[in-house]
């Protein structure tokens, strides 16, 4: 099969159109997350995909301007925001090894003394949000302001219905937070932390918004306004943790198929980065058993195969 060489920006669009057409012909799209009841009614046939370039040019296909529930995708941005605030001290409280376990697993926490394996499993993300909360007094607000600025979309907001739905079914995250608090790895009262974390996860944004926000990692840590969020080295580190941990116990398979740093969410979105070149976001709400969008992974697999763009 011939590679579709992307020599100019506009050449991304035919690639995206071909992927959307192929995905449209593919049956078997997985099932929307139902452990958060407000997400259960989404149509697994929905599909959108966007590519954003470092200069803010963005292309898309399908429902690429339709907001969806970002969920765990936000963990990338809270990690970057906390690294900006506290630097490497964060890594005394959370590791950076793949867990090989589901995103909401409890099992490693006890024998690893309340230090979560990485910032992208729920336990690790709770630690990051807790630390950002201590530093800002409003972790979710800090995240929302960042996403609005980077996407250029002032209308981005929390979906309080989704946040309330998760709060009502949040026993697993509450257990993780209380357990880590018993090891003194959580500073804030657990109800305060959970409120921040569930609102963080509830942010509704489109593929266009998230591809644009993710260009901070394609620009090696530089924000849309030209200021620096992360050092070049920190941006490399965040991309590396996305590659090894961003899709949980499927991270090996994702790296094998897609070959890019990526981060999924149970709303069906996935962001991915081609450092120096572009950022991507794909959305389709049907998930596999590990919580990753079936059509989303397939679309990113096709993108890197068709264009030859990957980190390898
Ligand atoms: O905490 C949770 O379970 C959800 N708010 C987020 C989980 C998630 O998106 C995992 N990603 N695939």
pLDDT at 211 over 60: yes
**Most informative mutation of 175, 266, 267 for ligand 1 (most atoms within 8 A of CB):** 266
Mean pLDDT of 13-35: 91
Of ligand 1's listed atoms, the one at least distance from the Cα of 267 is 9
Q: Which of 72, 105, 151, 264 is catalytic?
A: 72
Q: CA–CA distance from 116 to each of 80, 82, 90, 243 (Å)? A: 17, 16, 12, 17
pLDDT tens for each residue of 163-199: 999 999 999 999 999 999 999 999 999 999 999 999 9
pLDDT, residue 205, reads 98
Which domains can be identified in the chain, with CATH numbers? 9-307 (3.40.710.10)
Please state the φ and ψ torsions of residue 94, each to the nearest 5 degrees: -150, 140
CA distance 16 to 189: 45
Kind of pairing between the strands at 278-283 and 68-69: unpaired
266 carries an active-site annotation:
yes
Mean pLDDT of 148-172: 97
Q: Which residues are annotated as a binding site for substrate?
A: 72, 122, 166, 173, 197, 248, 266
Cα of 125 to ligand 1 centre, how many Å?
Answer: 10
Q: Which of 75, 241, 284, 294 is catalytic?
A: 75
Q: Specify the pTM.
A: 0.97
Interface confidence (ipTM) of the complex: 0.98
Q: Which of 60, 72, 62 is nearest to 293 (CA)?
A: 72
248 carries an active-site annotation:
yes
pLDDT, residue 11, reads 84
Q: Which of 162, 266, 273, 294 is catalytic?
A: 266
pLDDT at 267 over 60: yes
């Amino acid at each position: 099969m011939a590679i579709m060489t992307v020599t100019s920006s506009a050449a991304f669009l035919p690639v995206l159109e071909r992927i959307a057409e192929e995905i449209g012909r593919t049956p078997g799209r997985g099932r929307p997350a139902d452990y958060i009841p407000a997400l259960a009614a989404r149509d697994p046939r929905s599909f959108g995909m966007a590519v954003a370039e470092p200069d803010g040019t963005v292309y898309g296909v399908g429902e690429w301007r339709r907001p969806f529930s970002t969920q765990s995708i936000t963990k990338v941005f809270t990690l970057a925001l906390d690294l900006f605030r506290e630097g490497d001290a964060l890594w005394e409280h959370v590791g950076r090894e793949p867990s090989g376990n589901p995103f909401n697993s409890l099992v490693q926490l006890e024998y690893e003394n309340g230090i979560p394996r990485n910032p992208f499993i729920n336990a690790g993300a709770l630690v990051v949000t807790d630390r950002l909360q201590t530093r800002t007094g409003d972790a979710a607000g800090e995240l929302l302001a960042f996403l609005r600025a980077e996407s250029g979309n002032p209308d981005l907001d929390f979906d309080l219905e989704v946040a309330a739905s998760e709060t009502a079914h949040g026993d697993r995250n509450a257990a993780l937070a209380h357990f880590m608090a018993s090891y003194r790895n959580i500073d804030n009262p657990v109800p305060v932390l959970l409120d921040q974390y569930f609102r963080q996860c509830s942010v509704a944004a489109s593929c266009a918004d998230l591809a644009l926000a993710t260009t901070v990692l394609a620009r090696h840590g530089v924000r849309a306004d030209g200021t620096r969020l992360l050092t070049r080295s920190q941006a490399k580190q965040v991309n590396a943790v996305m590659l090894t941990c961003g899709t949980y116990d499927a991270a090996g398979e994702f790296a094998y198929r897609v070959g890019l740093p990526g981060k999924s969410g149970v709303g069906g979105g996935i962001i991915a980065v081609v450092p120096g070149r572009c950022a991507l976001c794909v959305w389709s709400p049907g998930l596999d058993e590990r919580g990753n969008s079936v059509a989303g992974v397939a679309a990113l697999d096709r993108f890197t195969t068709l264009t030859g763009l990957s980190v390898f």
